[in-house]
Amino acid sequence: MNALATQAATAAADKTERGLLRFITAGSVDDGKSTLIGRLLFDSKGIFADQLDAMSRARHKRTVGDAIDLSLLTDGLEAEREQGITIDVAYRYFATPKRKFIIADTPGHEQYTRNMVTGASTADAVIILIDVSKVKLGDDGSVDLLIQTKRHSTIAHLLQIEHVVVAVNKMDLVDYDQTVYDRIVGAYQEFAQQLGLKDIRPIPLSALAGDNVVKKSDKLAWYEGPTLIELLESLTVYDESHDDPLRFPVQLVARHDGHQANDFRGYMGRIEAGKVSIGDKLVVQPGGQSATVKDIVTLDGSLQSAAVGQSVTLLL
């Protein structure tokens, strides 16, 4: 009975662990997706000095003087910088003391929706940006959300993305008015309920000014929730394929010196399903031979266990 209780507790802990979070930004053109990612990286100290220097001297920047155009950090193509829009999916990696992240900056233009689907296909969460200045607020209380906002939300539902963060951006353009925010969030939640989206996390912010992205803003004192980075750090990620039998395709056999019988021999690859721990007994196919895991080696050192999605070297 105690053993069963221990296994149940371990499984529950696994399902709430905060591992690597893959997320995308989505929304209409000029909703501030690239600027938001740039702000996240800038305020979380995820940009190198040479990158900042290059962006401050960029030919196609859309800021005045020495001010940095944070959107250029992900808009790397020349055509993107010339037109001021995102065309291809751009991936960026950054980390905080609490979590590691992979961001996919996806295009908002209708013409490049297929590229947005590419970025969303591996995402655990999506940030749907809504530009408050583009939403039509009727005198009768109606709220008209943009077509791309609805389209990208529908794609997120079809791809079964677990978490949806609704970032109501450019709050500085409406003087941080809570009433405007509440009306937009209410309209989106109504649309999301019809669509079937479940985990909706609304948040007001200004990516350009940095309000509520990494640091709380006094201008949004009426908002009592977490900042965007705090929210992303708290999202749970659990892959059902953790429960599947281990599948570990060997991509390379690493050896130091193949002439010695006791030489290092590591089997390198990516875990495609399940998980593995030191001491586990594995069956090597197609030969059917069994072996015991002696060590799990990564660039960061040895691990006690590893799960689906991790690239490791197994010593048997």
| pLDDT (tens digit per residue) in 173-201 | 999 999 999 999 999 999 999 999 989 99
Which two three-digit tokens encode residue 284? 């090597």
Q: Could you tell me the pTM of the whole model?
A: 0.65
Region 232-259: what's the mean pLDDT? 79
Architecture of the 12-238 domain: 3-Layer(aba) Sandwich (3.40)
Q: Which of 48-57, 95-104, 219-228 has the lowest mean pLDDT?
A: 48-57
Q: How far apart are CA 206 and CA 36, in angstroms?
A: 8
Cβ-based burial of 67 (10 A; exposed 0-12, middle 13-18, buried ≥19): exposed
| pLDDT (tens digit per residue) in 111-144 | 666 777 877 788 889 999 999 999 999 988 889 9
Q: How far apart are CA 174 and CA 58, in angstroms?
A: 30
Region 148-157: what's the mean pLDDT? 90
Residue ranges per domain, the chain? Answer: 12-238, 241-315
Q: Where are the alpha helices (DSSP H) in 196-316?
A: 228-234
How high is the pLDDT of residue 78? 38
Identity of residue 102: I
Instruction: Provide the Cα torsion 202, 160, 89, 105; round to 10°.
Output: 10
How high is the pLDDT of residue 1? 35
Q: Which of 16-20, 91-95, 225-229 has the lowest mean pLDDT?
A: 16-20
Fold of 241-315: Elongation Factor Tu (Ef-tu); domain 3 (2.40.30)
